[in-house]
Amino acid sequence: MTTLFSMRNGQLVLSMLVAIFMVGPILAVIPISFSSGSFLSYPLPGFSLQWYEKVFQYDPWMSALVNSLIIGLASATLATILGTLAALGFARGNLVAQQFLMGVVISPMIIPLVVSGVAMYFFLAKLGLVATFAGLILAHTVLAVPFVVIPVMATLRGFDTNLVRAANSLGATPVTAFFRVTLPNIAPGVISGALFAFATSFDEVVVALFIAGPAQKTLPRQMFDGIRDNIEPSILAMSSLLVVISILMLAATAWLARKTL
Protein backbone atom coordinates (compact mmCIF):
# COMPACT_ATOMS: atom_id res chain seq x y z
CA MET A 1 0.00 0.00 0.00
CA THR A 2 2.86 2.36 0.88
CA THR A 3 4.64 1.48 -2.38
CA LEU A 4 1.50 2.22 -4.43
CA PHE A 5 1.07 5.56 -2.64
CA SER A 6 4.69 6.46 -3.34
CA MET A 7 4.31 5.59 -7.04
CA ARG A 8 1.24 7.82 -7.32
CA ASN A 9 3.05 10.71 -5.65
CA GLY A 10 6.01 10.18 -7.97
CA GLN A 11 3.74 10.23 -11.03
CA LEU A 12 2.04 13.39 -9.74
CA VAL A 13 5.36 15.17 -9.20
CA LEU A 14 6.65 14.07 -12.63
CA SER A 15 3.43 15.24 -14.30
CA MET A 16 3.70 18.64 -12.58
CA LEU A 17 7.34 19.03 -13.66
CA VAL A 18 6.44 18.21 -17.28
CA ALA A 19 3.52 20.69 -17.14
CA ILE A 20 5.80 23.43 -15.76
CA PHE A 21 8.42 22.70 -18.44
CA MET A 22 5.81 22.97 -21.21
CA VAL A 23 3.64 25.83 -19.93
CA GLY A 24 6.13 27.84 -17.85
CA PRO A 25 7.80 29.70 -20.76
CA ILE A 26 4.38 30.66 -22.13
CA LEU A 27 3.15 32.02 -18.79
CA ALA A 28 6.43 33.93 -18.30
CA VAL A 29 5.41 36.47 -20.96
CA ILE A 30 2.26 37.52 -19.10
CA PRO A 31 3.92 39.58 -16.30
CA ILE A 32 6.09 41.49 -18.83
CA SER A 33 2.93 42.54 -20.69
CA PHE A 34 2.06 44.67 -17.62
CA SER A 35 5.47 46.38 -17.56
CA SER A 36 5.68 50.18 -17.46
CA GLY A 37 9.01 50.02 -19.30
CA SER A 38 9.64 49.99 -23.03
CA PHE A 39 11.76 46.86 -23.13
CA LEU A 40 11.28 43.17 -22.41
CA SER A 41 13.08 42.69 -19.13
CA TYR A 42 12.86 41.37 -15.58
CA PRO A 43 12.47 42.71 -12.90
CA LEU A 44 9.60 44.93 -13.97
CA PRO A 45 10.22 48.67 -13.54
CA GLY A 46 6.54 49.16 -12.68
CA PHE A 47 2.96 48.15 -13.38
CA SER A 48 1.09 49.61 -16.36
CA LEU A 49 -1.74 48.81 -18.77
CA GLN A 50 -0.28 51.02 -21.51
CA TRP A 51 0.55 48.07 -23.79
CA TYR A 52 -2.99 46.68 -23.55
CA GLU A 53 -4.31 50.17 -24.43
CA LYS A 54 -2.05 50.13 -27.49
CA VAL A 55 -3.20 46.61 -28.45
CA PHE A 56 -6.85 47.67 -28.39
CA GLN A 57 -6.24 50.48 -30.90
CA TYR A 58 -7.54 49.59 -34.36
CA ASP A 59 -4.20 49.86 -36.17
CA PRO A 60 -2.24 47.72 -36.33
CA TRP A 61 -3.43 45.12 -33.81
CA MET A 62 -7.22 45.21 -33.95
CA SER A 63 -7.30 45.34 -37.77
CA ALA A 64 -5.04 42.29 -37.84
CA LEU A 65 -7.24 40.57 -35.26
CA VAL A 66 -10.35 41.27 -37.37
CA ASN A 67 -8.61 39.80 -40.43
CA SER A 68 -7.61 36.70 -38.46
CA LEU A 69 -11.16 36.22 -37.18
CA ILE A 70 -12.68 36.60 -40.67
CA ILE A 71 -10.17 34.23 -42.28
CA GLY A 72 -10.25 31.79 -39.34
CA LEU A 73 -14.05 31.54 -39.21
CA ALA A 74 -14.40 31.19 -42.99
CA SER A 75 -11.66 28.58 -43.34
CA ALA A 76 -12.90 26.67 -40.27
CA THR A 77 -16.42 26.55 -41.74
CA LEU A 78 -15.17 25.27 -45.11
CA ALA A 79 -12.75 22.81 -43.50
CA THR A 80 -15.48 21.48 -41.19
CA ILE A 81 -17.84 20.83 -44.11
CA LEU A 82 -15.17 19.23 -46.32
CA GLY A 83 -13.51 17.33 -43.46
CA THR A 84 -16.79 15.90 -42.18
CA LEU A 85 -17.80 14.73 -45.66
CA ALA A 86 -14.36 13.16 -46.16
CA ALA A 87 -14.55 11.40 -42.79
CA LEU A 88 -17.99 10.01 -43.64
CA GLY A 89 -16.61 8.68 -46.93
CA PHE A 90 -13.58 7.09 -45.25
CA ALA A 91 -15.75 5.61 -42.50
CA ARG A 92 -17.74 3.62 -45.07
CA GLY A 93 -14.52 1.77 -45.94
CA ASN A 94 -15.49 1.04 -49.55
CA LEU A 95 -13.48 3.73 -51.38
CA VAL A 96 -11.03 2.80 -54.11
CA ALA A 97 -7.42 3.38 -52.95
CA GLN A 98 -8.69 4.52 -49.57
CA GLN A 99 -5.28 4.48 -47.86
CA PHE A 100 -3.78 6.58 -50.65
CA LEU A 101 -6.64 9.08 -50.49
CA MET A 102 -6.33 9.26 -46.70
CA GLY A 103 -2.64 10.01 -47.08
CA VAL A 104 -3.41 12.81 -49.53
CA VAL A 105 -6.01 14.35 -47.20
CA ILE A 106 -3.74 14.39 -44.14
CA SER A 107 -0.59 15.33 -46.10
CA PRO A 108 -0.83 19.05 -45.11
CA MET A 109 -0.04 17.92 -41.54
CA ILE A 110 3.19 16.27 -42.73
CA ILE A 111 4.53 18.50 -45.52
CA PRO A 112 6.64 21.42 -44.19
CA LEU A 113 4.69 24.66 -44.20
CA VAL A 114 7.37 26.42 -46.24
CA VAL A 115 6.91 23.87 -49.02
CA SER A 116 3.11 24.20 -48.79
CA GLY A 117 3.40 27.99 -48.85
CA VAL A 118 5.54 28.05 -51.99
CA ALA A 119 3.28 25.52 -53.77
CA MET A 120 0.11 27.41 -52.81
CA TYR A 121 1.64 30.73 -53.90
CA PHE A 122 2.36 29.51 -57.45
CA PHE A 123 -1.00 27.68 -57.68
CA LEU A 124 -3.07 30.61 -56.42
CA ALA A 125 -1.04 33.10 -58.49
CA LYS A 126 -2.25 31.32 -61.64
CA LEU A 127 -5.81 31.90 -60.46
CA GLY A 128 -5.21 35.53 -59.49
CA LEU A 129 -5.94 34.81 -55.81
CA VAL A 130 -2.65 35.91 -54.24
CA ALA A 131 -3.07 38.91 -51.89
CA THR A 132 -6.81 38.26 -51.59
CA PHE A 133 -9.00 37.06 -48.71
CA ALA A 134 -10.34 34.24 -50.89
CA GLY A 135 -6.85 32.92 -51.60
CA LEU A 136 -5.79 32.95 -47.95
CA ILE A 137 -9.07 31.33 -46.86
CA LEU A 138 -8.60 28.54 -49.41
CA ALA A 139 -4.98 28.02 -48.34
CA HIS A 140 -5.92 27.81 -44.65
CA THR A 141 -8.81 25.48 -45.49
CA VAL A 142 -6.38 23.01 -47.07
CA LEU A 143 -4.21 23.13 -43.95
CA ALA A 144 -7.17 22.74 -41.59
CA VAL A 145 -9.06 19.86 -43.24
CA PRO A 146 -6.89 17.09 -41.68
CA PHE A 147 -7.61 18.49 -38.21
CA VAL A 148 -11.33 17.92 -38.88
CA VAL A 149 -11.06 14.51 -40.53
CA ILE A 150 -9.20 12.86 -37.64
CA PRO A 151 -11.56 13.73 -34.73
CA VAL A 152 -14.69 13.11 -36.83
CA MET A 153 -13.38 9.68 -37.88
CA ALA A 154 -12.64 8.91 -34.22
CA THR A 155 -16.23 9.80 -33.32
CA LEU A 156 -17.65 7.75 -36.19
CA ARG A 157 -15.90 4.61 -34.86
CA GLY A 158 -18.30 4.66 -31.90
CA PHE A 159 -21.37 5.49 -33.98
CA ASP A 160 -23.95 2.75 -34.49
CA THR A 161 -24.76 2.77 -38.23
CA ASN A 162 -27.87 0.69 -37.55
CA LEU A 163 -29.50 3.95 -36.44
CA VAL A 164 -29.14 5.29 -40.01
CA ARG A 165 -30.56 2.07 -41.46
CA ALA A 166 -33.50 2.34 -39.06
CA ALA A 167 -34.13 5.93 -40.14
CA ASN A 168 -33.99 4.95 -43.82
CA SER A 169 -36.39 2.07 -43.20
CA LEU A 170 -38.83 4.57 -41.68
CA GLY A 171 -38.76 6.66 -44.87
CA ALA A 172 -36.06 9.23 -44.08
CA THR A 173 -33.99 10.40 -47.04
CA PRO A 174 -30.15 10.17 -46.72
CA VAL A 175 -29.99 13.94 -46.14
CA THR A 176 -32.69 13.81 -43.47
CA ALA A 177 -31.03 10.82 -41.79
CA PHE A 178 -27.71 12.68 -41.72
CA PHE A 179 -29.09 15.83 -40.12
CA ARG A 180 -31.55 14.08 -37.75
CA VAL A 181 -29.51 11.00 -36.75
CA THR A 182 -25.82 11.05 -37.75
CA LEU A 183 -24.89 14.69 -37.11
CA PRO A 184 -26.36 14.90 -33.57
CA ASN A 185 -24.42 11.75 -32.60
CA ILE A 186 -21.08 12.90 -34.04
CA ALA A 187 -21.52 16.57 -33.09
CA PRO A 188 -18.77 16.53 -30.37
CA GLY A 189 -16.22 15.31 -32.94
CA VAL A 190 -17.38 17.83 -35.55
CA ILE A 191 -17.22 20.73 -33.07
CA SER A 192 -13.78 19.60 -31.86
CA GLY A 193 -12.59 19.49 -35.47
CA ALA A 194 -14.01 22.96 -36.10
CA LEU A 195 -12.14 24.32 -33.06
CA PHE A 196 -8.89 22.70 -34.23
CA ALA A 197 -9.45 24.08 -37.75
CA PHE A 198 -10.03 27.58 -36.40
CA ALA A 199 -6.94 27.34 -34.20
CA THR A 200 -4.87 26.11 -37.17
CA SER A 201 -5.87 29.11 -39.28
CA PHE A 202 -5.71 31.61 -36.41
CA ASP A 203 -2.15 30.55 -35.50
CA GLU A 204 -0.73 30.15 -39.01
CA VAL A 205 1.96 32.57 -40.23
CA VAL A 206 4.20 30.82 -42.80
CA VAL A 207 1.62 30.43 -45.56
CA ALA A 208 0.25 33.90 -44.75
CA LEU A 209 3.70 35.34 -45.50
CA PHE A 210 3.42 33.93 -49.04
CA ILE A 211 -0.29 34.48 -49.76
CA ALA A 212 -1.47 37.52 -47.80
CA GLY A 213 -1.05 41.10 -48.97
CA PRO A 214 -1.03 44.23 -46.77
CA ALA A 215 -4.85 44.26 -46.63
CA GLN A 216 -4.97 40.64 -45.43
CA LYS A 217 -2.33 40.95 -42.69
CA THR A 218 -3.28 38.48 -39.96
CA LEU A 219 -2.47 38.66 -36.27
CA PRO A 220 0.41 36.12 -36.34
CA ARG A 221 1.92 37.96 -39.31
CA GLN A 222 1.59 41.28 -37.49
CA MET A 223 3.35 39.73 -34.47
CA PHE A 224 6.07 38.34 -36.76
CA ASP A 225 6.61 41.79 -38.32
CA GLY A 226 6.62 43.38 -34.86
CA ILE A 227 9.31 41.03 -33.58
CA ARG A 228 11.40 41.63 -36.69
CA ASP A 229 11.10 45.42 -36.72
CA ASN A 230 10.69 46.63 -33.12
CA ILE A 231 10.32 44.40 -30.07
CA GLU A 232 8.05 46.00 -27.48
CA PRO A 233 5.72 44.67 -24.73
CA SER A 234 2.59 45.27 -26.86
CA ILE A 235 3.45 42.01 -28.63
CA LEU A 236 3.39 40.25 -25.26
CA ALA A 237 0.10 41.93 -24.35
CA MET A 238 -1.49 40.46 -27.46
CA SER A 239 0.26 37.14 -26.76
CA SER A 240 -1.26 37.10 -23.26
CA LEU A 241 -4.74 37.63 -24.70
CA LEU A 242 -4.13 34.76 -27.13
CA VAL A 243 -3.01 32.52 -24.26
CA VAL A 244 -6.34 33.17 -22.52
CA ILE A 245 -8.25 32.42 -25.74
CA SER A 246 -6.22 29.21 -26.23
CA ILE A 247 -6.97 28.06 -22.67
CA LEU A 248 -10.69 28.62 -23.25
CA MET A 249 -10.55 26.66 -26.53
CA LEU A 250 -8.58 23.87 -24.84
CA ALA A 251 -11.16 23.68 -22.06
CA ALA A 252 -13.98 23.51 -24.63
CA THR A 253 -12.18 20.74 -26.55
CA ALA A 254 -11.57 18.74 -23.34
CA TRP A 255 -15.22 19.11 -22.38
CA LEU A 256 -16.33 17.89 -25.80
CA ALA A 257 -13.88 14.97 -25.61
CA ARG A 258 -15.43 13.89 -22.30
CA LYS A 259 -18.88 13.96 -23.89
CA THR A 260 -17.60 11.83 -26.77
CA LEU A 261 -16.25 9.09 -24.47
Work out the pLDDT band at 139, boundaries 50, 70, 90. Answer: very high
Tell me the β-bridge partners of 47.
35
Work out the pLDDT band at 3, boundaries 50, 70, 90. Answer: low
The rounded mean pLDDT for the chain is 85
Residue 31: cis peptide before it, omega within 30 degrees of 0: no
Residues 44-71 have pLDDT tens digits of 778 888 888 888 877 788 888 899 999 9
222 and 234 Cβ atoms separated by less than 8 Å? no
**For residue 100, how far is the Cα from the chain centroid?**
25
SS (H, E, C) 158-200: CCCCHHHHHHHHCCCCHHHHHHHHHHHHHHHHHHHHHHHHHHH
CA distance 121 to 42: 41
- Separation in Å, CA 117 to CA 33, 137, 146, 204, 247: 32, 13, 17, 11, 28
Region 145-174: mean pLDDT is: 88
Work out the pLDDT band at 28, boundaries 50, 70, 90. Answer: confident
Closest CA to 145 of 208, 213, 77, 91: 77
Region 195-206: mean pLDDT is: 89
- The secondary structure of residue 43, as a DSSP letter, is S
CA distance 122 to 207: 12
201 and 71 Cβ atoms separated by less than 8 Å? yes
How does 138-173 read in b/e, with b if 16+ C-beta sit within 10 Å? bbbbbbbbbbbbbbbbbbbeeeeeeebeebeeeebe
* pLDDT score at 35: 81
Residues 175-191 have pLDDT tens digits of 898 889 888 888 888 98
200 and 143 Cβ atoms separated by less than 8 Å? yes
* pLDDT score at 69: 92
Degrees to nearest 5, angle at CA 122 with 117 and 127: 120
CA distance 105 to 93: 15
Domain edges within the chain: 58-229
Cβ neighbours around 74 below 10 Å, total: 19
Residue 76 has pLDDT above 90, yes or no: yes
Residues 221-230 have pLDDT tens digits of 888 887 776 6
- Pick from 77-91, 99-113, 187-201, 241-255: least confident: 241-255
* pLDDT score at 255: 78
Which CATH number applies to 58-229? 1.10.3720.10
Closest CA to 197 of 64, 65, 77: 77
Q: What percent of the chain has pLDDT over 70?
A: 95
Residues 86-123 have pLDDT tens digits of 999 888 877 778 888 888 888 888 889 899 999 999 99
